[in-house]
Amino acid sequence: MGSEIIFIIALIIAVALVYWIVLKSSAEKIATQYQLLAARFELALNQSAAKMRGFIRPEPSVYGIYRGREMSISVPGKGLQNTRQIESVLKLELKGSQLSAQLTTAGPLGGLRQRDSRGQARWKSGDERFDQTVDVRTDHGGALVALLTEERRMWLASNLKKSKATLYIGGGNLAYAKLGLIANEDTRKDFEAAAEFLCDLAESVEA
């Protein structure tokens, strides 16, 4: 009986140790990508210390001014639609615009994300490839006609389809949200490209 208890305790300790090692490795990968993002955009890096002997490791974030506007990349405290699905979110300041729109990939997952669109109607650009790939919800279709040039429609169709991300416009921000954490080079580069795209888009919105 005593040996069985010792075995169970040893097993619990071994499982906890493996979990701690995996958690530490994952956190280090994420921290590295945020350090690179901070350096790339010259933003401040916020990295809180681990808690409970390393079993709780808060996600890092970056914040500052890029191309003349506030920008941040972080992980919100709650998941998508109040679920456990974690998103990484790039937010960019948008000045003096009442434009409101939400763009994501068409299909079942897109429909789930569009529950945040506050009843806005689906808008179609007339570009068949774009409309089949991207689900756009807005009450400002006229403004989008001018903003979403052919080049931008191509970028959105390609990148939203590949990344399964969502673009939000409104409330004084442009936001690019993608499920998961920024833990590898490909995801980091995706956010870097999105930052440049959003900056260009913001300048056009404000013009």
Q: CA geometry: angle at 47 spanning 52 and 45, to 5°?
A: 180
pLDDT bucket at 50, cuts 50 / 70 / 90? low
Asked whether 5 and 12 are in contact (CB, 8 A), the reply is: no
Which pTM does this prediction carry?
Answer: 0.81
| pLDDT reading at 44 higher than 60 | yes
pLDDT of residue 97: 82
Which residues, listed in sequence order, are joined to residue 45 by a DSSP beta bridge? 62
Least confident of 35-44, 46-55, 98-107: 46-55
The share of the chain scoring above pLDDT 90, in percent, equals 44
pLDDT of residue 84: 52
Mean pLDDT, rounded, for 42-49:
85
pLDDT of residue 124: 87
Distance CA 21, CA 113 (A): 34
Which residues, listed in sequence order, are joined to residue 102 by a DSSP beta bridge? 137, 168
pLDDT of residue 82: 47
188 φ, ψ to 5°? -60, -45
The domain ranges of the chain are 2-206
pLDDT bucket at 102, cuts 50 / 70 / 90? very high
